[in-house]
Structure 1
Amino acid sequence: MPNTAQGRYSASVDLLRRARTVIPGGVWGHNRMPSALDPDELPWFADCGRGARLRDVDGHWYVDYICGYGAIINGYARPEIDDAVRDQALRGSTLSQATAKTVELAELLVDLVDGMAWAAWGANGSDATWTALTMARAHTGRPHVAQVVNAYHGSHSWNGPADPGQGRPGQDTSLVHQVRWNDVAALDELFARHGDELAAFVVTPYHHPIPGDAEFATPEWRDALNTHCRRTGTLLVVDDVRAGFRLDLRGSHAAFGFHADLVCFSKGLGNGWPLSAVMGTEAIRKTSEQIFLAGTFWNSANSMAAALANLTLLRDEEGVKKMQHSGELLTSGLRRIAERNGVPMQVTGPVAMPSVTVRDDDQKWMRRFAVHMAAQGTLLHAGHNWALSTAHTPELVEETLTHAETAMARAQEDLGR
């Protein structure tokens, strides 16, 4: 690799060389991005996190807007959360029976989340969406499901286009129908043709493709979806894995007006401790009791303890308001700096988790921007939405905006603009 990597990221490069002999690609899963796109200019491996800052293995600190891909919502190593995990760990986490923590967490979630009567568990977001889909098919007795084009609902092969080269044969998606976001006519046609066959329509509370601009539902499209699902008995599954608890503790479906039958949470639920939840209405309780779904670590008491402490902090400290305030400072500042530098930047979506893109860019400009931001001490993903935590104070946002002023100018120079 070039000397630039050996200089600033020498420890990261050394780890990557070792990793490639024992791990496919050196880093498994989505954590290989965005470093894989710019391997000489971004860190591959992290060492630790504190609050809103992350340190890589070469000792560089960053204000982090990836936040573990949205998992960190109350800041890294928040003492109240990690102390709760330590206390539980002394008694054991994966025991032969469920613990009281499952009951306590379910009670708290039912108290917080609008319209939901019960909670079931998983370890990550793909567990949650797959569980909800299975429950919907069992409850309705129907095989077909629907989703929005370019929506991401996890890594299981039912989601996304068929691609045998990626291990996704056509039969895995043969019962999945797709419509475009905010296309009311296409939605009407889908339900006219398949409404009586659809077990579920799986939808995110707002559209956040990767990469791409975020887009809120129009009232007409949202209301049509709610109406069609009620009329045909199709369950409306809201995938709140990415946005859950950053926008509204009642669930993002409440904030955006979707009449959910099932809601999926993960990411911010445990502040980095692996856990997901599927919540449902009273009407689906009997089905959820009768079907068999299981995972060895789904009742992990450590993760339950983390989620209890995490949600309690978000509620008692008005965490959503904190992230909203800092997000407004960040997004307005980015727009202002972009205009000053002649960059056609678009900042879309909720301010606590904005999508930042540049018109007609194909990510080239955003990748250069991410590289220059990292060199100064701010970490972001060129294609994924950003994420704020309650630890992102206004002072840290101002630090980020200072970095952005320089990084935008340098990205413009790199691309000759």
Structure 2
Amino acid sequence: MTKYDVVVVGAGIIGIAVCDELAKRGFKVVVVEKNPKIAEETTEGNSGIIHGGFDPTPGKLNAKLNLVGRKLYEEKWFKELDFPWQKVDSLVIALSEKEKEAVEKLYYRGIENGLQPSELKILTQKEVRNLEPNINPIVDSALLCTSSYIVDPVLLTYALWNRAKANKAELFLNHQVTKIKESKTDFLVTCKNLDQEVTFTCKKVINAAGHYADEIAKMIKAQDFNLIRRRGQYCILEKTEAQTLKNHVIFLVPTIYGKGVIVAPMPDGHILVGPTAEENIAKADTRLVDFKHLKIIQKLGKKIIPSLNVERISKLTSGSRPICQETDDFVIRYAKHNQNFINIAGIKSPGLTAAPAIALQVADMIDRTRKGEK
């Protein structure tokens, strides 16, 4: 039986990013994933936006890691990895006086989160329409953020995996964790693969299982968080609709349910419209699409750009955000009774943006326990 330094549970962007960072540091790492491919769940159902960092609540971990993560994309991942990405500024548009107040609050929130004043600007109606002539003519104003990007999150995950594999990391697909047994020095991680049981021995476990992180944590009585789910359905429009949009990710004002509906370019030339915000979806249904919500998405898309032909649909897709019920923030911490087990849970937006920062933080946590530090 091969013995590993670390078993990572989950091969989404977070699990693979952590694996990549640990493999670079010389750890013997294996990732186990229940699906037949990597990046099949929350990562695949992601809008692909690298956020500037003006939206998260100041002081929360996700606000800090948004900013750090975005800078790591700029300084490292965009330069080191081969995957599709583009520099695309974002606009949060106000369609009323009340929404204008919300946009102004986002500006000051961004400054509090650490963005530079040069990265943010409140635009007048004229300035907005000069940037995006097809935008809803009732637009009052907008927040411009010049430090956002779009990426293909699935191809990014594969790029990270290719680098991790080059550093001798291993990956086992179709391996669903069914049991974790801990001793004073090791873990035995048992997986179901078809009709067989496969057991991995390791010194440390990283729980990056997305919507299933609570179930993995429960296996060693390390679940000190509760997760809920919020599904978001998207409509991907034909490339012909790209002519209606110059080069911005356009948001409606955010709500308590998320960052707000967007019309956004995709790296492959399509246009993304959505998402919805649906509560209490079963874990097994987080990637399902539901045609009764299509009209809602189309209506909101036309609210942003009235000339958008929302009937020219290339694909419907959906994703879901795992949300920590207690804090509405990222959970990145050691199990209370065992520092060799780390939970990464509740990684909702801006999880994609924060991924490189999360990977560094978790790898540092592993390093500290390896050196016997607290």
Please report the TM-score for the alignment, with normalisation by the length of structure 1: 0.29
Please report the TM-score for the alignment, with normalisation by the length of structure 2: 0.32
> Which structure would you say has the larger RCO, counting Cα contacts within 8 Å and 6 or more residues apart?
2
